[in-house]
């Protein structure tokens, strides 16, 4: 149901387009491939909104479901599944490297959550995140994004490679 809602919103926004990024917005859906320390997570997704104050500076708000991983409990009796998610807010700075291509960096704060099924060991906190990546304007209303993010999650570090498409409006 959530995927249908996201797809519907993205299709509705497709009708808008502007040639400049200044005072513009974008919504992107990205697939994530993340790791918490040495544990690989299954694939997840990230929904992000960016508002550009100029051609090079934006604020970003994102919700990510980085995925989940499993481990055996201390006694080896059952497998525990851990879902990893976060809500991020940050600043994005970018530089144009070709007519329709940009390199960017981002820095912000994330409210992350580890949700462990079947236990009371859930964890959440606010920590810094950083990232860098590449945007490519496919058209006046569509962008492709590839990015790599680093997120401090308590005593662990989460790293995520994300790729997806967005709509500019």
Q: How far apart are CA 100 and CA 16, in angstroms?
A: 18
Chain segment 73-90, per-residue pLDDT in tens: 666 666 778 888 999 999
Report the CATH number of the 2-168 domain.
Answer: 2.40.160.20
Q: Pairing relation of β-strands 24-36 and 44-52? A: antiparallel
Task: Note if the pTM is more than 0.85.
Answer: no
Chain segment 35-59, per-residue pLDDT in tens: 988 788 889 999 999 999 998 999 9
Chain segment 112-164, per-residue pLDDT in tens: 998 887 666 778 899 999 999 999 999 999 999 999 999 988 888 999 999 99
Which whole number is the average pLDDT over 25-32?
A: 96
Domain assignments of the chain as residue spans, ordered by start: 2-168
Confidence of residue 1 (pLDDT cuts 50, 70, 90): very low
């Amino acid at each position: 149901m959530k995927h249908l809602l996201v797809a519907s919103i993205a299709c509705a926004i497709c009708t808008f387009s502007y040639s400049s990024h200044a005072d513009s917005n974008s919504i992107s859906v990205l697939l994530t491939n993340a790791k918490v320390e040495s544990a690989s997570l299954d694939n997840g997704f990230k929904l992000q909104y960016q508002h550009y104050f100029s051609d090079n500076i934006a604020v970003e708000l994102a919700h990510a479901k980085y995925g989940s991983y499993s481990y055996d409990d201390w006694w080896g009796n059952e497998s525990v599944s851990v879902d990893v998610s976060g809500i991020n807010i940050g600043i994005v700075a970018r530089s144009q490297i070709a007519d329709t291509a940009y390199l960017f960096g981002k820095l912000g704060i994330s409210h992350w959550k580890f949700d462990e099924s079947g236990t009371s060991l859930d964890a959440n906190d606010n920590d810094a995140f950083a990232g860098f990546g590449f945007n490519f304007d496919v058209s006046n209303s569509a962008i492709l994004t590839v990015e790599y993010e680093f997120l401090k999650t308590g005593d662990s570090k989460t790293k995520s490679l994300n790729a997806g498409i967005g709509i500019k409006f």
